[in-house]
Amino acid sequence: MTDIKTALITGASRGIGNAIARELKDNGYEVLGTATSDSGVKLIQDQGIGGYVLDLNSSDSLVNFWDQIEAENKNISVLINNAGITRDNIVLRMSDDEWSDIMNVHLNGTFQLCKRALKMMLKSKWGRVINISSASASIGNRGQSNYAAAKAGVEAFTKSLAKEVGKRDITINAVAPGFITTDMTEQNKGVNAEYLMKEIPLGRFGEAEEVANLVNFLCSSKASYITGQTIHINGGLYM
Ligand code: NAP
């Protein structure tokens, strides 16, 4: 394989995904990133990163996206399943759409992209997949039964896939952040900030760049004997 590895990061327009995209670019990868809109794609491209439209809640979008990747002869050897949304509600009030949107984006999206990218990794006989999970998968969260269930599914999927492809030098890991400062956690910061800080031994939210550093390590040759793991990064919120 060539020296320059190609990394695909879903949800690279903002937050953790954008930090990962920049970190991997700085470390010499060819980076491809996705957003749901043309304006998001432009934000990515303005950072010198390949930008693509992908809405994981739409099977048409997934097909169009992958057609484009194949037409451009991209050979993905690093896949970061990062794109994410929340649709919080208590179970008694949760709509079917709030449930299925979360399953589509987090769990089905991870499955669909792994299935396609793995074919490229198998040919290259090398690969890295990092699935972004959440501390919610381990500790649960009131109003996030959909999100916690999807992320727990992602972690179980990670272990199973690691067993399927380990012999081909492909590692599959999950990274489970606690509270990281991004658009997703903006609402929690105001209302629950004091309570949350008490629960986090390090006494602060994490930064997207701190998650990106961990992901960069897991993608590197230094992490060659780590697979099937969920690595927690949460300031001690969950131990
Ligand atoms: P964020 O700032 O809200 O960014 C979300 C990203 O996902 C954006 O790039 C967004 O694209 C993309 N996205 C949204 N809906 C999508 C869809 N239907 N299809 C494809 N992409 C979509 O979120 P974040 O906080 O960085 O979260 C990133 C990941 O970390 C998620 O998987 C999240 O569950 C996980 N996580 C975050 C935290 C935290 O504290 N922030 C904690 C634990 C886990 P657009 O810009 O086009 O909308």
Q: Which residues line ligand 1 (CB under 6 A)?
A: 10-17, 35-37, 40, 54-57, 82-85, 105, 132, 134, 177, 179-180, 182-185
C-beta of residue 208 within 8 angstroms of C-beta of residue 18: yes
**Residue 239, CA distances (Å) to 10, 33, 138 in order:** 28, 32, 10
173 HSE (CA, 13 A, CB side) = 23
C-beta of residue 7 within 8 angstroms of C-beta of residue 78: yes
Mutual orientation of helices 208-219 and 15-26 as an angle, nearest 10°?
50
Determine the Cα–Cα distance for residues 55 and 10; give it in Å rounded to an integer.
9
| pLDDT band, very low/low/confident/very high, at 195 (cuts 50, 70, 90) | confident
Confidence at residue 190, expressed as pLDDT on a 0 to 100 scale: 62
Task: Give pTM, 2 decimals.
Answer: 0.97
Determine the Cα–Cα distance for residues 68 and 80; give it in Å rounded to an integer.
18
pLDDT at 75 over 60: yes
pLDDT tens, residue by residue, 43-69? 999 999 999 999 999 999 999 999 999
Distance from the CA of 165 to the center of ligand 1, in angstroms? 27
Q: Nearest Cα to 5, choosing from 77, 53, 71?
A: 77
Which of 1-15, 165-179, 223-237 comes out lowest in average pLDDT?
A: 1-15
